[in-house]
Amino acid sequence: MIRFPNSGFKIQALSSRPSNLRGLQGDVVIDEAAFHESLDELLKAAMALTMWGARVRIISTHNGVDNLFNQYIQEAREGRKDYSVHRITLDDAIADGLYRRICYVTGREWSPESEQKWRDDLYKNAPTREDADEEYGCIPKKSGGAYIPHALIEMAMIRDIPILTFEAPDDFISRAAWLRESEVLTWCEEHLKPLLEALNPRSRFSFGEDFARTGDLSCFVLLEITESLAKREVFRVELRNLPYAQQEQVMMYILTRVPALVGAAFDATGNGGYLAEAALLAFGPDIIDCVMLSPKWYGEWMPKLKAEFEDQNILVARHQTTLDDLRHVKVVNGIPQIDKGRTKDQNATAVNARRHGDFAVALCMANRASYMEGFILDESACQALPERSRAMEGGYRDDDEAYHEFDRGCW
């Protein structure tokens, strides 16, 4: 902190935690805004200070076209926000004496030739030309900082895929167990039963789950694999603030009614191990994959999910949360994985409800499960062997002497 004794003013450096701005007054400068984890919350706290005439300056290099920082710039240019946009490239700074100042501070001799070489070396030594343009030319990368491009996600979206949400009230866990079970069963019968009964018996299905008990939400995705091997999200279930037992109840309601399940992948990290273990005990390891999320796992399965979008082989629900969650997949240390940022949940009634790429993880899990080879046998497709007496009465000819050693069964 720097204090000015004559005026009483001060300059105070704060971390990017939004709550640090609460209760303060004065002008705010947010530096490298595009790289903050919760820029929206930080800006919300900062803009509250403008009621008293304070000014807010947002300064940053770009971090992709889909980054919130770039969205604010576009909204300002479109006239939807009363922001003033100032664009200063490296060439602008050089023209205003940046390299001369560097030479003065470091004791080097300035010349036009050394200035041009310094500038060219910065561009040449950047990882890619796109990276150089983003860092020095104020041009956001088309990849948007997101692993799956915005355009590919938009192309895969359709409107007729339902998103079902169960948001339990705070007192839900204090209710009697039978009341909780009854309420959840009623919800399942009303919302899930019609969708499950309408499943195409000629298709196969996979299931993916991302777990949360509090804070974020649990997300279930049922993925249809058609005869042409195209994939389509059948429906999505989002559970917020729901006890473990009722999350298991919803999960079991779905999985026991899917006609041909090739596999289900569960987030077994931390508390997610409860639901993953319950599924494993119910259906066995041929059907259930308990995943410990890690950079290695993301590095193996996120590229396969991206390939589905690139090949236009997958369809997902058209909704803002779909886009928000999939944009949370970023390349971190060379590996596509969920970043640390959070976005507001448009589906939730709670004011502070946030999302953390929950659908992206569940969809990646469902896509991973589509590579599994197990399936739940449809008992209605089995033909029972006749009882011995009925077989002989009907003139059944048994050429196998061992037949009478076996009990009734099926084939």
- pLDDT tens for the 411 residues of the chain, in order: 888 888 888 888 888 788 887 878 888 898 998 888 788 888 888 888 888 888 999 999 988 877 888 888 888 876 788 889 899 999 999 999 999 999 999 999 999 999 999 999 999 998 878 788 889 998 887 654 678 888 899 999 999 999 999 888 778 778 888 988 898 999 999 999 999 999 999 999 999 999 887 667 889 999 999 999 999 999 999 998 888 888 999 999 999 999 899 999 999 988 888 899 999 999 999 999 999 989 889 888 998 999 899 899 999 999 988 998 998 898 776 678 887 765 655 555 554 656 778 999 999 999 999 999 876 455 555 555 555 545 444 544 455 554 444 444 444
Residue 119 within any structural domain of the chain: yes
Phi/psi of residue 68, nearest 5 degrees: -60, -35
**Residue 28: domain span:** 2-78
- Enter the pTM of the model: 0.60
Same domain, 365 and 276: yes
Nearby residues of 354 by Cβ (< 8 Å), 6 or more positions away: 215, 216, 342, 343, 344, 345
Residue 124 within any structural domain of the chain: yes
Phi/psi of residue 104, nearest 5 degrees: -65, -45
Same domain, 63 and 99: no
Residue 170's pLDDT is what? 77
Same domain, 100 and 60: no
Same domain, 258 and 300: yes
Same domain, 207 and 115: no
Residue 184 within any structural domain of the chain: yes
Residue 408 within any structural domain of the chain: no
| Each residue's pLDDT tens digit, 342-390 | 565 555 555 465 677 899 999 999 999 999 987 645 555 555 555 554 5
Same domain, 246 and 361: yes
Same domain, 233 and 316: yes
Over its C-alpha atoms, the chain yields an Rg (Å, rounded) of 29
Query: Distance between CA 39 and CA 87 in Å, rounded?
Result: 20
Same domain, 130 and 269: no
Query: Distance between CA 139 and CA 123 in Å, rounded?
Result: 13
Same domain, 40 and 67: yes
- Whether 205 and 198 have beta carbons less than 8 Å apart is answered as no
Tell me whether strands 218-225 and 204-210 are parallel, antiparallel or unpaired: antiparallel
Which tokens belong to 10? Answer: 């001060």
For the chain, helix, strand, coil in percent to 5 are 40, 20, 40
| Each residue's pLDDT tens digit, 227-279 | 999 999 999 999 988 888 889 999 999 999 998 999 999 999 888 888 999 99
Same domain, 126 and 225: no
Instruction: Specify the number of domains making up the chain.
Output: 3
CATH code of the domain covering residue 349: 3.30.420.240
Same domain, 11 and 46: yes
Same domain, 209 and 98: no
Query: Distance between CA 369 and CA 402 in Å, rounded?
Result: 41
Which of 284, 280, 272, 363 has its CA nearest to residue 319? 363
Tell me whether strands 329-332 and 335-338 are parallel, antiparallel or unpaired: antiparallel
Residue 406 within any structural domain of the chain: no
Query: Distance between CA 234 and CA 210 in Å, rounded?
Result: 17
Residue 198 within any structural domain of the chain: yes
